[in-house]
Each structure stands twice: as structure tokens, then as C-alpha cells.
């Protein structure tokens, strides 16, 4: 017996974000786009202190000792919290349509992506789904790794290069692959 195939047609014309809360008026979001282009995405912008200043000016809660490299994209700084002594590498993309909370001593390596949004592929209207991301203290997200919506990376978890976290990562564990699976324990030497 053959499986019954149900055809659904996606209709992007009917897509609406009417229930999505951007968090600020449109003029503030547009102003952020200009500041972001000049001071964050711009590969010539190397002054972390100036980037921290702008993030705070737009409502981000930022700790001390933050290093932000060139080419970083942050969707909504007013939905961002970063703890103390964090590193954000070149070309990191924080697509924080929902809250992103980054703990102390977290490293986001080059090209890492934190993605708070996705779409409901089961609906013809392709509805937007957003969920927060939490990176607890000491987490390391490897180069070109992806953290998906709703994921919490517990204390000192590691997501290796190019891996994709689709579910929570346990504390002091190292994850690899797509989807990421635990491969071993992380031991931190003093």
C-alpha cells in the first residue's frame, strides 16, 4: 500500500508578522541598522569599546571586558544580554528575534550563528516562530557553529566547529555534528 501524499502549497504572499514584537519603534530600528553598518558589520571597525557603547545606547545589557571583532551582526541589541569578559569573533551573527542571554566568559568563534527564529513549514502561511537562546558561563561556540531557537547551552558546554545545536547542551560536555551529539566530557584545567 502506498503512503498517501498530502500536498500543501506555501503561500508567502499571505505571510504576516503581525504578532511579532520588534521591541522598539521602527525609527529606532532603522537608526540601529545605520549604526550597525558603520560600527559592527564594517570590517574596518576594530574598536570594541565603541561597539559596547553603541550596544548599551540601544538597550543591550553588557558587562565589562567585552571583545567584539569586526563583521559582527546583531539584529536587536535591546534583546541582548552579555556578561563579563566575553569574546565575539569575526562575522558572528546574533539573529536575536527573541532574547539572547550570554553569561560570563563565553566565546563565540568566527562565523558562529545564534538563530532565535524559524518558520512553521507545516502552515501555508509560513508563520514565524521565535524562541530565546541562553549561553551560560564558560560556553564556547566554535567557528561556523549554529545554535538554534530555544536552545540553552549549560555551563562550560562546547559546540565544536561547524556543529548545529538543535537541543540543550549539558554542562561541561563537548558536542559535535549536525545535529550535535555529545562526544566527551570537557575538563577545564587551572
Residue 12 has pLDDT above 90, yes or no: no
Q: How confident is the model at residue 34 (pLDDT cuts 50, 70, 90)?
A: very high
Q: Are 157 and 171 in contact (CB under 8 A)?
A: yes
**pLDDT in the model for residue 40:** 95
pLDDT confidence of 189, banded at 50, 70, 90? confident
Confidence of residue 65 (pLDDT cuts 50, 70, 90): very high
Domains and CATH numbers, the chain: 24-185 (2.160.10.10)
More confident call, 99 vs 189: 99
Q: What is the reported pLDDT for 29?
A: 94
Distance of CA 72 to the CA centre of its chain: 11
pTM of the model: 0.91
Cβ(99)–Cβ(118) under 8 Å? no
Cα–Cα dist 149/168, whole Å: 10
Confidence category of residue 20, pLDDT binned at 50, 70, 90:
confident
**What is the predicted pLDDT for the residue at 127?**
87
How many C-beta atoms surround the C-beta of residue 113 within 10 A? 18
**Average pLDDT of 88-108?**
97
Distances (CA, A) of 111 to 86, 108, 145, 159: 16, 8, 7, 13
**The predicted structure's pLDDT at residue 58:** 97
pLDDT surpassing 60 at residue 1 = no
Residue 2 pLDDT class (50, 70, 90 cuts): low
Amino acid at each position: 500500500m502506498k503512503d498517501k501524499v498530502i500536498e500543501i502549497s506555501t503561500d508567502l504572499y499571505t505571510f504576516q508578522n503581525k504578532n511579532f514584537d520588534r521591541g522598539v519603534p521602527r525609527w529606532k530600528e532603522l537608526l540601529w541598522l545605520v549604526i550597525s553598518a558603520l560600527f559592527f558589520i564594517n570590517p574596518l571597525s576594530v574598536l570594541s569599546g565603541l561597539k559596547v557603547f553603541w550596544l548599551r545606547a540601544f538597550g543591550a545589557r553588557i558587562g565589562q571586558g567585552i571583545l567584539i571583532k569586526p563583521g559582527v551582526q546583531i539584529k536587536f541589541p535591546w534583546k541582548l544580554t552579555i556578561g563579563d569578559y566575553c569574546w565575539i569573533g569575526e562575522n558572528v551573527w546574533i539573529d536575536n528575534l527573541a532574547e539572547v542571554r550570554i553569561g560570563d566568559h563565553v566565546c563565540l568563534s568566527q562565523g558562529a550563528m545564534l538563530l532565535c527564529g524559524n518558520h512553521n513549514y507545516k502552515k501555508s502561511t509560513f508563520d514565524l516562530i521565535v524562541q530565546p537562546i541562553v549561553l551560560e558561563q564558560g560556553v564556547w561556540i566554535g567557528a561556523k557553529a549554529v545554535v538554534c531557537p530555544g536552545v540553552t547551552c549549560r555551563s562550560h558546554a562546547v559546540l565544536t566547529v561547524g556543529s548545529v545545536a538543535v537541543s540543550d547542551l549539558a554542562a561541561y560536555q563537548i558536542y559535535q555534528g549536525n545535529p550535535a551529539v555529545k562526544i566527551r566530557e570537557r575538563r577545564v584545567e587551572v
